[in-house]
Amino acid sequence: MLVNHDVTNMMENIPDEKFKIIGIDKDAEAPSRPRIGYWRDAWRRLRENKVAFVALIILLILIFFIIFGPAISGYEFEQIDSDAINQGPSAEHWFGTDDLGRDLFARVWQAGRVSIIIGILGAVIASVVGSIYGGIAAYFGGAVDDIMMRIVEVLLSIPYLIIVILISVVTDSKSLGTMLVALTLTGWCGIARLVRGQMLQLKSQEYVLAANALGVAPIKIILKHMIPNTIGMIIVAITFDIPGYIFSEAFLSYVGLGIQPPSTSWGALASAAQQNFMFYPYQLLFPALMIALTMLSFTLLGDGLRDALDPKLRK
């Protein structure tokens, strides 16, 4: 009590001008930046990654020409002009012509449609199948997980080239559908292993345990709770898989096991051009350049998406 009395006397001896009313700072607890959602923040971080953003712009330009390129050229990709055989790039034929006088500008972008369709559809189909398969294996675990993963290991040990040859022989077809089936028959195994590893961590989360306690069906838990929480990883996996499917298609077409005339692809164009490479190198240059640009752009974009979609890197 004596101490409190002394403090009171000291406060009374301090003149009023020594005190200053500061008031309340209403902005003291204001957020440093507005709240934004996960996907909006991921888009912001992707734009800040200059390399990935440039790769995205290149892909958009390529896709624009793949869609509208054949119409821009003014020539049909199958149109033969016997007076314009093996002409170099010019104002009339921007990429030159091939050994039948067909405009290479139109053929390159028409071929790009096939290559991009195989790349995107193949990656999406493989990711959907692999995600469901890996989710089932991770959710049930135990003997089910062991059996399903052993099946994946057996399928991964089979070279895809053998599968393509067998399917081509059995179906007697080298169409776009046959190519997709052959490439995706075992292509889903890699994403299945990735999804399984991620979902083994999610399996013990509280919301999954709560869904189990409420009696939600296992397939609904996998599709509505577990797979959506791995969607970022799946998107990145798709982006990285697309170059692999494009290269596989190009390789198979180059060795004569892929798309056949009258259809064409970048690999088929490269295969046809390699015979005259010494005399007309531009015929191989343009399809090979498109393959390289597309694969590099998707790889760089996937690397940027991996960082942008990682919730641990949010600031």
Cβ distance 131 to 191 under 8 Å?
yes
Spatial separation of the C-alpha atoms in residues 289 and 44, rounded to whole Å: 30
Enclosing H/E stretch for 206: helix 206-213
Q: What is the mean pLDDT of the chain?
A: 81
Q: Per-residue confidence at 40, pLDDT binned at 50, 70, 90?
A: confident
Is 29 a domain residue? no
pLDDT tens per residue across span 228-281: 778 888 888 888 888 888 888 888 887 777 777 777 888 888 888 888 888 888
Report the range of poorest mean pLDDT among 34-38, 49-53, 85-89, 281-285.
34-38
Query: How many other C-beta atoms are found inside a 10 Å radius of the C-beta of residue 245?
Result: 27
Is pLDDT larger for residue 26 or for residue 218?
218
Is 3 a domain residue? no
Cβ distance 259 to 265 under 8 Å?
yes
Whether the model pTM is above 0.85: no
Cβ distance 283 to 104 under 8 Å?
yes
Q: Per-residue confidence at 69, pLDDT binned at 50, 70, 90?
A: confident
Is 23 a domain residue? no
Is 48 a domain residue? yes
Strands (E), the chain: none
Spatial separation of the C-alpha atoms in residues 56 and 45, rounded to whole Å: 13
Q: pLDDT above 70 covers what percent of the chain?
A: 86
Spatial separation of the C-alpha atoms in residues 224 and 213, rounded to whole Å: 16
Is 232 a domain residue? yes
Spatial separation of the C-alpha atoms in residues 107 and 259, rounded to whole Å: 14
pLDDT of residue 187: 84
Strand partners, 97: 103
Listing DSSP states for 44-107 in one string gives HHHHH-HHHHHHHHHHHHHHHHHHHHHHHHTS-TT---TTSTTPPS-SSSTT-B-TT--BHHHH
Number of domains in the chain: 1
Spatial separation of the C-alpha atoms in residues 181 and 245, rounded to whole Å: 12
First to last CA, the chain: 51
Among candidate residues 299, 302, 306, 292, the one with its CA nearest the CA of residue 115 = 292
Is 11 a residue whose pLDDT tops 80? Answer: no
The size of the chain, in residues, is 315
Spatial separation of the C-alpha atoms in residues 273 and 284, rounded to whole Å: 5
Cβ distance 119 to 183 under 8 Å?
no
Is 235 a domain residue? yes
pLDDT of residue 47: 86
Spatial separation of the C-alpha atoms in residues 108 and 102, rounded to whole Å: 11
Q: Per-residue confidence at 2, pLDDT binned at 50, 70, 90?
A: very low
Domain that holds residue 265: 38-313
pLDDT tens per residue across span 166-223: 887 777 777 778 888 888 888 888 888 888 888 888 877 788 888 888 888 888 887 7
Helix residue ranges per DSSP H, the chain: 2-13, 38-48, 50-73, 104-140, 142-156, 160-171, 176-184, 189-202, 206-213, 218-221, 231-254, 266-273, 282-308
Is 33 a domain residue? no
Query: In CATH, what number is assigned to the domain containing residue 213?
Result: 1.10.3720.10
Cβ distance 179 to 206 under 8 Å?
no
Q: Per-residue confidence at 314, pLDDT binned at 50, 70, 90?
A: low
Q: pLDDT above 90 covers what percent of the chain?
A: 9
Cβ distance 52 to 301 under 8 Å?
yes
Q: Which amino acid is at 149?
A: M
Instruction: Quote the DSSP letter at residue 276.
Output: G
Helices (H) and strands (E) in the chain, counts: 13, 0
Is 112 a domain residue? yes
Q: Per-residue confidence at 141, pLDDT binned at 50, 70, 90?
A: confident
